[in-house]
Amino acid sequence: MVVAWFVLAIVLLLFEMHHLAFYALFGAIGSLGAAIVALVAPTAIGAQAAVAVAVSVAGVALARPLVSRAYERRRHVPHVARGVHGGLVGQEALTLDDVGDAHALGHVRLVGERWLAVSGSGGTIPAGTTVLVTQVQGTTLVVLPLDREPVQERTP
């Protein structure tokens, strides 16, 4: 019976790793508790089951809320960027060459990377202009010029 409890514990742990709901985890701990009882009293199947149920229920009722809160706090730490689209919109970039409409794409440097860019105003934005990212269309940034003088980008 010890092997059966260990197998159940492993299956529940694998299930927990897939779902992360913190229910199967306590079922696995209860199964391990039942396996310990099975080592001491191999014929006391009722006691084994009672330990498995009691430990599982106690874990879900008492420990799961604490574990869930701790996991959620760690999981939802704010990131610098809210995904590609949300993190890039509102950022300033520097045009590397002339940026025009959809037929005259240019490039901008944003966060140290070179991106395709298109002018959101329809006009041509000269190289060296500081621009604002207003939208992301696939891998192309839609930009508008800020009211600043064009600057020369330093080449490393």
Return the pLDDT at 88.
83
pLDDT tier for residue 72 given thresholds of 50, 70 and 90: low
Per residue in 121-140, pLDDT tens? Answer: 888 999 999 999 998 888 89
| 141 neighbors 93 (Cβ within 8 angstroms) | yes
Helix (H, G, I), strand (E, B) or coil at 8: helix
**Euclidean distance between CA atoms 155 and 133, whole angstroms:** 22
Helix (H, G, I), strand (E, B) or coil at 147: coil
* Token pair recorded at residue 116: 């395709």
CATH number of 83-145: 2.40.50.140
Q: Half-sphere exposure of residue 75, counting CA atoms within 13 Å on the CB side?
A: 7
DSSP state of 99: B
For CATH 2.40.50.140, list the domain ranges present in the chain: 83-145
pTM assigned to the model: 0.46
| 97 neighbors 109 (Cβ within 8 angstroms) | no
Q: Is 90 left (phi over 0), alpha (psi -120 to 50) or beta?
A: left
Q: What is the mean pLDDT of the chain?
A: 84
Which residue type sits at 149? E
Per residue in 48-71, pLDDT tens? Answer: 999 999 999 998 898 878 877 776
**CB contact set of 8 (below 8 Å; sequence gap of 6+):** 27, 28, 31
